[in-house]
Chains A and B, each alone.
Chain A
Amino acid sequence: MGRYIARRLIYLLVVLFVVSAITFGLMHAVPGGPFDREKALPPEIIENLNRRYHLDEPLLMQYGRYLYDVFIPRISATPPKGSVDDDFLITVKLGNVWFKWMNFGPTYSSRSRTVNDIFRQQLPVSAQLGIMALLVAIIIGMPLGILAALKQNTIFDYLGMSVAIFGVSVPVIILGPIMIWIFGVTLKWFPPTGWGAKPPFVLGIFPRELGPEFFRYAIMPSVALGLGSSAIIARLTRASLLQTMREDYIRTARAKGLRESLVIVRHALKNSLIPVVTILGPLFAALVTGTFVTEVTFGIPGMGRYFVTSITNRDYPVIMGTILLYALILVIANLVVDIVYAYLDPRIRYD
């Protein structure tokens, strides 16, 4: 297993490299640049801006510069200045020297910030929301799916699947404002918008205070975001469990006289979880890196917005940063999913 994981991690580097090359090529191939405005700037001003951000260099050199800044660690005798150009994600002091690694570059659309600032200040908010939404999705989705499968073609099944269909068909863009209207504006149970934690975050991700105030802000968006995913999980759990129940080994288990509850829990459920776990990987990556609509609807300062606006703004370093981050989380989540397979299905071996 250890060797398997090591091999996968090496693949990860290859994947990131390929993703970065494709993204870099595509974003520069799209017409338009970061400094194209409604009011076209004079060419000299654009030249100044291009020079400031090294966009006047040949593309290959720009790409090389990017890889160098992101992947190659630096060692310096002076502490980092923390300026826009000298901002590293990882800065460690070892004796008298400073070890600096990963500079994802500046953002063109917010001149006093860097992509690293977005990772430090916006990513944790998105991750907090994403994890809570995923919990909501699992807690609602799995029991609903199991119930529907076990009571197939009964009122429970129809009711459960109706809820699931509702969850899939009502997007956050509808559900969000309705929830805000009912629980935020009318009943005043929750604050209509906002997020209950702000930077700096503990360990780069957790809110400093995990009190009721945090959850007051988090409940509405987590439910709104998680409901759609819970529907997917419920339907998948139901379908998978129904299929498993028809397997020979279930018949065998029943034939040897096992109690029905044992048959379901020990034999059917565990085996039916594989497809569910499979989608949890990508789902996790998607939820944790931020979701544009939920964040805009609920006024949450997460990073979902940057996936969209960086492309419309041609904010090259942010495009690269967000896509590499997404790729990284997706690959790691899939790796974890593969490891969980081995536990769920003893026939799966990676050695």
Chain B
Amino acid sequence: MSVVLSPGSVEDAVAMLAEHAEAMPLAGGATLVAMRNAGLVEPTHLINLDCIAELRGIERDTTGGIRIGAMTRHCDTAACNDLTGSLLVLRRAAGMIANRVVRNMGTMGGSVANADPAADYLPALACCDAVLEVAGPEGRRKISIHDYVQGWYETALEQGEIITAITLPAPVAAPSAYRKIARVTGDYATASCAMALDPDGKGLRAAIGACGPGPLRDRDAEAVLRGRLDDPEAVLDFAACLAALADPLDDVRGSAEYRLRLIPRLITSVLSEIALQTEVA
């Protein structure tokens, strides 16, 4: 049995997590409740984050940057009209998570905290250069998405810390897209790709998901590719740089070797998809 506590503020939630050594924060519960029912985790207390106003909603700040409260449901992210242009990739990723039931339940903070390597948000957030706002017993701090995943299901979150929000730079008018290859619609990704074109159309940002403990992004290779997007060989060289960073699993969704082969396919197909968007626009 787990005791459910429902704090009204981030400070209270952090205090409750500090007080009970085997407590776990409960966000949407889409994953955690299933894991608990399967006996994979046995928290003595579930600290329900659902009653904390600060964790809700999507807001624009004065500079146009976007702050997504950690408890924002996937369905709300998938329908958010503020996520345009370079940030559309995040909206698309949210809309491809699992199924409607899970999207109505699951939250961005919960998904990011769980850091499943095959889940959809991490590559999209890496593509958007997101920053995580977290709160814990030592106070509040920010973590770049690029420093966040530290191993398989291991993150920069310290004991007792929770994610309070995900912040994104202001969207710019440039196409972006998310694609995942999965066994069936709604499954975790076998491999996925989040990509955004630079506003001038000469370069891109791309992150590969499900091919290592965290999203794969190579900003040096992106710099090399800049100005050469119409050179297929340069694009394949870029994909090879990302594949070199990969450390894929062999599992029911695909072999490690198959995943490595998907990386260049994803890069070239998503690039042609967003190039088409540019032509239409």
Answer whether A and B are interacting partners.
Answer: no
Could you list which residues of chain B lie within 8 angstroms of chain A, going by C-beta atoms? none
Name A residues whose Cβ lies closer than 8 Å to a Cβ of B: none
